[in-house]
Chain A
């Protein structure tokens, strides 16, 4: 029996111990070797024999966690909005509404209303608030207090106290009415409305948050369709279309012109040019022929190729890069949510105040019930119902605004990293430059530049070389294109010969023309030296045996690039360029756009190491890239920003995705993230603030139920209005 490999997505892990337990559970299944990654919530399992994934999932479920098989297509279709969460929100809101009105409006209170309120509140605080209780208990085991602790505690105390009051004090008497005075303590206050409204609002916040994440994911799905899904397998000379994963080592497959190479291989038949920019980051096409090796994920820009698979699945270059990405991600510490950081201080403070208040009141009055009711009032009023809305409302407004400008922000953690960014590292090809070679200069000696360009285009028309395409495109733009030359003959790696009228025209490398020509004019020799050192590719043109012109071709800098770099500098951010191209090309581009620091000839590992070095220097690094070659760097960076035309892996590992390829959006994304984070903080300060003001009132023993209601209403309204301001954000 052969070994098979299964990747599982795990749910419910809270710490490294859980990872160990799952690993143990999997190891107990016969014939299974498993490694569990806590950070990525993945299990990588090697199965030897007949065991299938369902057995593994059952083993994991038995020890108390969830698991499912990771399948690419399934992952894309995932609907992360939990139907149970939706149900909790709907039920809680429906039940909380009448509880709120009958408690807050004395005129609506009927005989025995408090018993009805208790009945309606019970499912909310037990089933509805269950996620908070569960998280609070889990946190308590680690001695941590988070927002869940605050909600769970506030809701539980409000409810339990109210039930106690109902059964053992006058509060339960039929005919009782709640007085809505602002101040005025009553030892038999009921807090059913607090318990139910807080639960409903915080649950609603959770739902909004998960839908905003889902919206971001949906916009991404549209972009995730670049990798090869199918391969054309050759079986006894017959072409069969199969899913790309079905290829095995030693298979021969066909890659059509324009097709994506499905896996690593060696060419056995055919000649072409490969666009490897997505994988290697090198701009331009690489000529290939029989014997050349191909990397899966690159694009066949030329003719039909027959390729023998040299590696498949986990053995491919692409898989190696992906592993590098995963390692980088595993090392990335998750950012603790802002609200949890505040809660970590706020919650213990509230608990201490409540207990201390109770003790003081007991010392003064000697009345235990009175003292406990003060403590309860403090805990209840401290729990802001806008707390749950503070983050999601701002996130929804901020991400919604971003999405309209093609900026997709993937979650709150991203905002935190964005705020601290000090350095932006950008890739060159496709980020600063267009990624496509174009003609940047033409020189004619004894003939006009237009003649040089026109003649070159007329002989190069039929050639599919990237430099030839650039020449033809430029000639077409300048309208100097004439009829195609006759008798075109291409010499691979050298150039093309053709005849126009009676003149033999040759276009190709200067070396080739120099071999068979009279002396090359000095103006052309000088230009060739200058342009080469500026990192440009050259096409020389000859009439008969006389070299008459030179064309410089280069990957051009996007017009928006220098504006974008200036915008980043204005935000106080240092810019660094890491390019896969040689240092000469890198330097030219760096100077042209005003980059602070640049590095050439960087391979994927170099880029990742560069970022790690910058991080060691104390910089918080954002990486902008698009290729698979950038993926490891994107994952290593504190903030990964992928350009939208980028590859799957680049998009998956990034924190922000820019749909357009306009680098100015990077500065916009950073500004928008900062504004959104600022709004979240404002929301949290006020959400906690209104309720914090009520704490001394509760401690003083003069809190009327209206104070709690007012605190709830004010903080919620503020949060909604403050978040709405983000819609007015302007992009550059």
Chain B
């Protein structure tokens, strides 16, 4: 079980948290998602997975949801 943290920007409220969580959850290999919201700042996305997360797929999923992954 790995936990990887990512920075995400563009989140303003709990609604965004749900949107991003869902997007991240759909990425193959992900087994758990949670987010510490920093409204209008850089929120932290905790991703749990069995193997290492496919960062490219995750990045694509987050961008498609309308948010930015910080690199």
Chain A residues at the B interface, C-beta cutoff of 8 Å: 4-6, 52-54, 69, 71-73, 230, 233, 235, 238-243, 245-246, 248
Contact = CB atoms under 8 A, between A and B. Distances in A.
A437 to B, nearest CB: 36
B31 A240 contact: yes
A243 B40 contact: no
Q: Is the interface of B mostly helix, strand, loop or mixed?
A: mixed
A241 B32 contact: yes
Contacts of B39: 69
List the 7 shortest-distance A-B pairs measured between CB atoms, nearest first.
A241-B32, A246-B21, A246-B22, A240-B25, A245-B18, A246-B18, A242-B25
B48 A243 contact: no
B18 to A, nearest CB: 4
Nearest to B16: A52
Contacts of B13: 6, 52-53, 69, 71
B31 A5 contact: no
Contact of B18 (A52, A53, A73, A243): A243
Contact of B21 (A4, A71, A239, A242): A242
Contacts of A245: 14, 17-18, 21
Given A240-B31, A243-B33, A235 B14 contact: no
A243 B32 contact: no
- Chain A CB within 10 Å — which of B15, B28, B30, B39 has the most? B15
Contacts of A72: 14
Given A54-B40, A71-B37, A242 B12 contact: no
B30 A243 contact: no
Contacts of A242: 21-22, 25, 32-33
B48 A241 contact: yes
Contacts of A54: 12, 40
Interface of B: 12-15, 17-19, 21-22, 25-26, 28, 30-35, 37, 39-40, 48
A207 B48 CA distance: 44
Contacts of B19: 246
Given A54-B40, A235-B26, A243 B15 contact: no
Given A241-B48, A243-B17, 19 more contacts: A4-B15, A5-B15, A6-B15, A53-B13, A69-B13, A69-B39, A71-B14, A72-B14, A238-B28, A240-B30, A240-B33, A241-B32, A241-B33, A242-B21, A242-B32, A243-B33, A243-B35, A246-B19, A246-B25
A241 B25 CA distance: 8
26 contacts: A5-B15, A6-B13, A52-B13, A53-B12, A54-B12, A54-B40, A69-B12, A69-B13, A69-B14, A71-B14, A71-B37, A233-B25, A235-B25, A235-B26, A238-B30, A240-B31, A240-B33, A241-B32, A241-B33, A241-B34, A242-B21, A242-B22, A243-B18, A246-B18, A246-B33, A248-B22
- Chain B CB within 10 Å — which of A73, A230, A239, A246 has the most? A246
Contacts of A71: 13-14, 37
Contacts of A243: 17-18, 21, 33-35
A235 B29 CA distance: 10
A52 B40 CA distance: 11
B64 to A, nearest CB: 14
B67 to A, nearest CB: 12
Nearest to B31: A240
Given A6-B13, A69-B13, A239 B31 contact: yes
Contacts of B32: 240-242
A230 B18 CA distance: 11
Contacts of B21: 242-243, 245-246
A53 B13 CA distance: 8
A4 B13 CA distance: 11
Nearest to B34: A243
A233 B26 CA distance: 9
Contacts of A241: 31-34, 48
A626 to B, nearest CB: 27
A238 B22 contact: no
Contacts of A233: 25
- Chain B CB within 10 Å — which of A71, A73, A238, A243 has the most? A243
A3 to B, nearest CB: 11
A255 B48 CA distance: 19
A673 to B, nearest CB: 35
B15 to A, nearest CB: 5
Nearest to A243: B21
A73 to B, nearest CB: 8
Nearest to A233: B25
Contacts of B35: 243
Contacts of B34: 230, 241, 243
Contacts of A246: 18-19, 21-22, 25, 33
Contacts of B30: 238, 240
Contacts of B31: 238-241
